[in-house]
Amino acid sequence: MNAIVDSHSEDSQVLAAQERSIPTSTISSYARAGFGPIICGEFGVVATEQLEQSMVVGLGDTRKTALMARHGAVPVSEEPEDALFTAIVIEKAAIRAMKIISTGGVPEQLTLSDIFDEETARNIAEERVILHTQTVSVQRLG
């Protein structure tokens, strides 16, 4: 990881203030986030190991972003442009979630089964197929 965007975008910050993860309900946000929700880590004192570990847990092995509780979104990438694009996609996911919540709805979280056939979703889950988070392209292995 060479780039981190310390985002203070409004809607993702509102959800971070509530210590709520952001559901990814579109294919673009689902892929950008690493094929799952944008996890809100636990609150921690700035510049402490506790906060660092919370972000590591939120990012996991495959996510490109997490929320820092009571702070905002923190997209990461190898390239600054990619991290910035992720920040934009994530803020759009937060805006959608906030609109759904404001109308009394519950934002739905996409799953692999929502966008791929059963066999492909299973192969992805079992890591026999690699998905690229920038294009949602599928690469079959061996």
Name the 3-class secondary structure at 94. helix
pLDDT digit string (tens) for 40-67?
A: 999 988 888 988 899 899 998 888 899 9
Q: In terms of residue numbers, what domain contains 55?
A: 3-110
- Asked if residue 84 and residue 48 are part of one domain, the reply reads yes
pLDDT digit string (tens) for 103-125?
A: 999 999 999 999 899 998 999 88
Count of alpha carbons within 13 angstroms of residue 73, beta-carbon side: 32
Number of domains in the chain: 2
pLDDT digit string (tens) for 61-95?
A: 888 899 999 999 999 999 999 999 999 999 999 99
Exposure string for 6-27, b = 16+ CB within 10 A, e = fewer? ebebebbbbbbeeebbbbbbee
- Asked if residue 95 and residue 37 are part of one domain, the reply reads yes
Strand 72-77 versus strand 65-68 pairing type: antiparallel
pLDDT at 137 over 50: no
Query: Which amino acid makes up residue 71?
Result: H
- Asked if residue 93 and residue 54 are part of one domain, the reply reads yes
- Asked if residue 115 and residue 103 are part of one domain, the reply reads no
